[in-house]
Amino acid sequence: MSEPVLPLGGASYSGLVTVSEHGPIGQVTFRGDLSSEAVKAAIKDVTGRDVPGLREVSGDGDTCVIWMSPDELLLICGYAEAGGLVDALTEKLAGEHVLAVNVSDARAAFRLKGKHVREVLGKLAPVDLDPAVFTPGMVRRTRLAQVAAGFWLLDQETAQVFCFRSVSEYMFNLLKTVSDPQSAVGYYSA
């Protein structure tokens, strides 16, 4: 197996938050009936994580199961583990109407770290980021400016953002721009 190549070579920027290209990470798209006991059991057995509820993340930033839609999950794991997850799910759910695909090289991921993380995301996403409303372990699929993306909070000062690899440079530059120290709004950091 060849070594993975990050879209931006591990780029990072420090401003209101530190923006770092994260990776390489394993990503598996799973589609199926998420209420099925067979699906729940297979996901738990293969990942060690429960099927998350609506707009939730089950697990931590490096190994987790993310709710993507009523019939879709994104499994995050080590890059080298993604193919094995697909094989294990395919075997355990033989005969079930499901899909598991290794999409590790299709998306880019960024980690945002700092006390202004909500403010930075709030400049881009039409999401209520009030700490009482959007808490760690919740995920949003949305748009960040003109790009389809998703993000979740790992803790109060750390977010993970994902987008398609083809727009990774645009996303990084966008995150840098809204993280510029002179663009502080001060809304969430009070």
* Averaged pLDDT score across all residues of the chain: 93
The residue whose two tokens read 């923006």 is: 19
Its sign, for the CA torsion 75, 81, 86, 87, is negative
Angle of CA points 14, 17, 22, to nearest 5°: 80
- On whether the pTM is more than 0.85, the answer is yes
Class of domain 12-183 (CATH, top level): alpha beta
pLDDT band at 158 (very low <50, low <70, confident <90, very high): very high
pLDDT tens across 5-51, in order?
A: 888 888 999 999 999 998 899 999 999 999 999 999 999 999 999 99
Q: Which run of H or of E encompasses 73?
A: strand 72-78
Q: Is the pLDDT of residue 190 over 90?
A: no
Task: Return all residues near 95 (Cβ < 8 A) that are at least 6 apart.
Answer: none
Using DSSP's 3-state secondary structure scheme, residue 116 falls into: coil
- Segment 136-143 shows an average pLDDT of 95
